[in-house]
Amino acid sequence: MTIEQQLGSHSQAPAAETTMKIASVADVRTSAVLRLLAFAASLAAAVVVATNRQDRWGITVTFRMFAVWEAFVAVNLACAAYSALTAVFVKRLVSKHWLHHADLLAVNLQAASTAGAGAIGSVAMWGNQPSGWFAVCRLYRLYCDKGAVSLALAFASLVALGAAATLSRFPARPPPPPPASR
């Protein structure tokens, strides 16, 4: 058999071969665990920020004072809901071609909200002297510490959801070779 014939036989693999037929039980279980981890981390990040509050000298600081923290909470709640739903139905969804694209959308939203909140947290922590923004974390240490914890949780969610998105595109095992023709 020539190389061209071998390549031709591989390219004629049945089109009905889907990721679900390729994905093993371990792949589905791993994806479900990663999605549940992303759910827990996203939900915890949203709750930590939403309940974050500190009073000092008659000034109360909450997440509602900053639009980026409001968006952070909204995106983390949305990612938590998405992660929980896809974890529950991952066995049915693993064969859907749109799952990877939806995963990437969730990963990108999570990355954007985490980066935005991290940028504001950086300015709060160290200030920006040229623009006149002073570091406020020396005054509101508890608020900033909880914000840092929520950023770490959001990053953990981002990593878990990113790994699940990778699994939705590339299963751990390659597709089986096509049956040999006689």
Q: What number of helices (H) and strands (E) belong to the chain?
A: 7, 2
Please name the amino acid found at residue 174. Answer: P
Q: 113: part of which helix (H) or strand (E)?
A: helix 99-126
Amino acid 172: pLDDT:
54
pTM (two decimals): 0.74
46-66 residue pLDDT tens: 999 888 777 677 777 666 677
Residue 63, burial from CB neighbour count under 10 angstroms (0-12, 13-18, 19+): buried
> Is residue 43 scored above 90 in pLDDT?
yes
pLDDT band at residue 175 using 50, 70 and 90 as cut-offs: low
Bridge partners, 60 (sequence order): 55
- Name residue, tokens 């792949």: 27
Interacting residues of 12 by C-beta distance below 8 A, sequence separation 6+: 178
135-149 per-position pLDDT tens digit: 777 777 777 788 889
CA dist 40 and 119 (Å) reads 23
**Average pLDDT in the chain:** 77
Which among 122, 131, 99, 97 is positioned nearest to 31, based on CA atoms?
99
Q: Is the pLDDT of residue 84 over 80?
A: yes
Q: Pick from 71, 111, 107, 69: which is nearest to 86 by CA? A: 107
Structure tokens at 11: 């390219």
User: What is the rounded CA–CA span in Å between residue 54 and residue 141?
Assistant: 9
Please tell me the distance from the alpha carbon of residue 49 to that of residue 121, in angstroms, as a whole number.
12
Task: Specify the long-range contacts of residues 28-31, CB closer than 8 Å, at least 24 apart.
Answer: 28/90, 28/91, 28/94, 30/167, 30/172, 31/87, 31/90, 31/94, 31/164, 31/167, 31/168
Grade residue 101 by pLDDT with cuts at 50, 70 and 90: confident
